[in-house]
């Protein structure tokens, strides 16, 4: 039995739009003769899995764990271009995204440099947007020493935003897509925050399937996402989905290596 999930952007307020995308994709897969498809999306897991399950037909996964943890376990289906602030192009033909460094709305902080010795909330050390991109941003400033007084693992971008808004942390790095959806669905939370900087841009979070998915099925998914479900994609603020460019995701490991070469291998 195949499994489908959309765990990356899964606010409860987005459940209907996520379900609509899968329903549209499923309908076209069935028309192409692909059977045993799940009727519903699986719930978003609380943590990254130990491996990408062979039955994973359709999902979305952050590029950093894809390269660091799951090499050889997946096929890329395509990269979405979101119609949200902070999203654009990483390279020609490769949609990108960045992270926003956020502080409380009332904070006097105006620059990243002013965050030295502050408390930083990170969604997880396996996150590109929450850890890898800010690590690269901060590496030239850290001088090979800890930059923050404390790094707090929140468990998720939404929780990081809540912690900063509540004064439980002084700053966090939030994926601009998550931030954009919160601006739409949780404006009071976003109103309690302020963006002081943007990280470098990396390729946007791709749609994936298991490495065990038959090539013809993966090709059908790429075709469907790229041309056949525009209304369902628009409901998730996705302007288009571009064909996969696997080599683009080398960038997340380049950022990691660059931070290490600057003496800052761990966000701390």
pLDDT for residue 47 is more than 90: no
- 93, HSE (Cβ side, Cα atoms, 13 Å): 6
Residue 78 pairs in a beta bridge with 207
Q: What is the mean pLDDT of residues 70-92?
A: 97
- 243, HSE (Cβ side, Cα atoms, 13 Å): 3
Task: Give the pLDDT of residue 59.
Answer: 98
Task: Give the pLDDT of residue 116.
Answer: 98
pLDDT band, very low/low/confident/very high, at 186 (cuts 50, 70, 90): very high
Fold annotation for 96-201+254-261: D-Maltodextrin-Binding Protein; domain 2 (3.40.190)
Q: What is the mean pLDDT of residues 6-24?
A: 97
Per-domain residue ranges of the chain? 3-83+204-247, 96-201+254-261
Task: Give the pLDDT of residue 222.
Answer: 98
Strand residues in 130-176 grouped as ranges (E):
150-153, 171-175
pLDDT in tens, 197-251: 999 999 999 999 999 999 999 999 999 999 999 999 999 999 999 999 999 999 9
% the chain with pLDDT above 90: 97
pLDDT for residue 36 is more than 80: yes
Q: What is the mean pLDDT of residues 98-123?
A: 98
Q: What is the mean pLDDT of residues 185-190?
A: 98
Fold annotation for 3-83+204-247: D-Maltodextrin-Binding Protein; domain 2 (3.40.190)
pLDDT for residue 46 is more than 80: no
Taking the C-alpha atoms of residue 64 and residue 156, their distance in angstroms, rounded to an integer, is 15
Task: Give the pLDDT of residue 45.
Answer: 83
Burial of 9 (0-12, 13-18, 19+ CB in 10 A): buried
pLDDT in tens, 142-162: 999 999 999 999 999 999 999
């Amino acid at each position: 039995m195949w499994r489908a999930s959309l765990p990356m952007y899964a606010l409860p307020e987005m459940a209907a739009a996520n379900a609509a995308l899968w329903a549209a994709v499923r309908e076209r897969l069935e028309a192409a003769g692909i059977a045993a498809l799940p009727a519903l999306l699986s719930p978003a897991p609380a943590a990254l899995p130990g491996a990408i399950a062979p039955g994973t037909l359709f999902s979305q996964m952050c590029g950093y764990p894809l390269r660091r943890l799951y090499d050889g376990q997946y096929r890329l289906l395509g990269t979405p271009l979101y119609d949200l602030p902070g999203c654009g192009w990483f390279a020609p033909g490769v949609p990108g995204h960045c992270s926003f460094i956020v502080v409380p709305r009332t904070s006097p902080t105006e620059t990243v440099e002013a965050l030295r010795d502050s408390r930083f909330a990170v969604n997880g050390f396996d996150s590109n947007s929450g850890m890898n991109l800010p690590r690269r941003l901060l590496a030239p400033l850290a001088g090979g020493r800890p930059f923050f007084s404390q790094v707090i693992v929140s468990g998720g971008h939404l929780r990081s935003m809540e912690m900063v808004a509540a004064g439980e942390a002084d700053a966090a790095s939030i994926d601009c897509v998550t931030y954009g959806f919160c601006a739409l669905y949780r404006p009071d939370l976003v109103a309690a925050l302020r963006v002081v900087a943007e990280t470098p841009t990396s390729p946007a979070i791709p749609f994936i399937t298991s490495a065990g998915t038959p090539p013809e099925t993966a090709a059908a998914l790429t075709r469907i996402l790229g041309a056949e479900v525009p209304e369902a994609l628009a409901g998730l603020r996705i302007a288009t989905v571009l064909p996969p460019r696997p080599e683009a995701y080398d960038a997340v490991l380049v950022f990691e290596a660059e931070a290490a070469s600057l003496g800052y291998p761990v966000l701390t």
